[in-house]
């Protein structure tokens, strides 16, 4: 059973009386499996935030359905076990960490007798016990993210929605949040992870979806999307005396009979093997280099929209 599922989810906004309509989500259908870290990717304006707002029931879809824990969000008036940490949370700066978590414990209807125990558990989980009596206004960005994650877990959710959880963090802060997300996965929680830091998505997620202008362009196992057939091949070839790289239909760095070259894919390299052998060339090294997620992301977006300008 998928923990999260959408079926032809569509959201259309009116721009104004004379400006027509804007489609923020266009028949989005995705599935997120239990216990996985699922990456949800797209450039600014792709529809990621609109999707999250619908999943949190802050927006109603124009059409289509969304299910969490096999419950249709249109049908249930009750609260669901979903945790959420926004990209730029606003917390009450003049509360201490412990007071802040007590406030969210009451909001989540944690019984008074259980609140202290739950707060201690969460402070230990996010490594913030030492700062429980420090005012939030004195927290660093990384500390704020960690206490924000603690409040998202207060009601013991099975599904956690994270919107840019590593935005603005230094390398140490990013590692701390990454370790926390892995810890949540090991607890059996499902993570829906929005981020523009594609290296983090590639390192952490087992499956991803790529969205653009509200439409799903690709979704699947990360290893499958990165693929193997289109690997670059980094070569080192020893050429016989009197042979030039052009004789082997290659270009690259050539010195003392050794050619270093990169071919765009495995298929092209295999096609040229017979030519190289016929010229007496000796292959010293053959190293496949798989494309990274950033390359796949850019190729996918530009294939759908050649005129798109992507922020770097």
In a domain, 137, yes or no: no
Residue 230 has a pLDDT of 63
201 and 254 part of one domain: no
Q: 96 pairs with which residues across the strands?
A: 135
Q: For residue range 176-235, what is the model confidence (pLDDT) as tens digits?
A: 889 999 999 999 999 999 988 898 899 999 999 999 999 999 999 998 888 754 678 888
295 and 271 part of one domain: no
In a domain, 142, yes or no: no
193 and 284 part of one domain: no
295 and 285 part of one domain: no
pTM (global) more than 0.85: no
> Is 106 in a helix, a strand, or coil?
helix
In a domain, 162, yes or no: no
Q: For residue range 256-309, what is the model confidence (pLDDT) as tens digits?
A: 888 888 887 777 788 888 888 888 888 888 888 778 899 889 989 998 888 777
CA distance 300 to 215: 12
Q: Which residues contact 298 (CB under 8 A, 6 or more apart)?
A: 310
CATH of the domain at 198: 3.40.50.300
Residue 89 confidence (pLDDT) above 90: no
Number of domains the chain contains? 2
Q: Rounded mean pLDDT of the chain?
A: 89
In a domain, 258, yes or no: yes
- 254: domain range? 232-289
Share of the chain above pLDDT 90, in %: 53
7 and 61 part of one domain: yes
């Amino acid at each position: 059973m998928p923990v999260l599922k959408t079926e032809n989810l569509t959201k259309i906004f009116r721009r104004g009386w004379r400006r027509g309509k804007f489609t923020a989500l266009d028949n989005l259908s995705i599935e997120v499996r239990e216990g996985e870290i699922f990456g949800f990717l797209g450039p600014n304006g792709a529809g990621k935030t609109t999707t999250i707002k619908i999943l949190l029931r802050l927006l109603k879809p124009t059409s289509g359905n969304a299910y969490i824990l096999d419950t249709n969000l249109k049908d249930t008036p009750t609260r669901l076990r979903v945790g959420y940490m926004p990209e730029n949370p606003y917390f009450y700066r003049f509360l201490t960490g412990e007071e802040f978590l007590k406030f969210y414990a009451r909001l989540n209807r944690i019984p008074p007798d259980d609140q202290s125990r739950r707060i201690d558990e969460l402070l230990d989980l996010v490594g913030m016990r030492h700062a429980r009596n420090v005012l939030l206004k004195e927290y660093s960005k990384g500390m704020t993210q960690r206490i924000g994650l603690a409040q998202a877990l207060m009601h013991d959710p099975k599904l956690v929605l994270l919107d840019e959880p590593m935005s603005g963090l230094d390398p140490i802060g990013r590692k701390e949040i990454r370790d926390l997300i892995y810890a949540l996965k090991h607890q059996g929680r499902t993570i829906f992870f929005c981020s523009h830091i594609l290296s983090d998505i590639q390192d952490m997620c087992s499956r991803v979806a790529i969205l653009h202008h509200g439409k799903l362009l690709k979704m699947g196992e990360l290893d499958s999307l990165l693929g193997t057939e289109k690997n670059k091949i980094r070569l080192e070839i020893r050429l016989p005396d009197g042979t030039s790289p052009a004789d082997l239909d290659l270009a690259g760095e050539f010195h003392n009979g050794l050619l270093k070259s990169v071919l765009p894919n495995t298929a092209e390299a295999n096609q040229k093997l017979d030519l190289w052998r016929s010229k007496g060339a000796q292959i010293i090294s053959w190293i496949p280099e798989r494309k990274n997620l950033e390359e796949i992301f850019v190729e996918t977006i530009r294939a759908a929209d050649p005129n798109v300008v992507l922020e770097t």
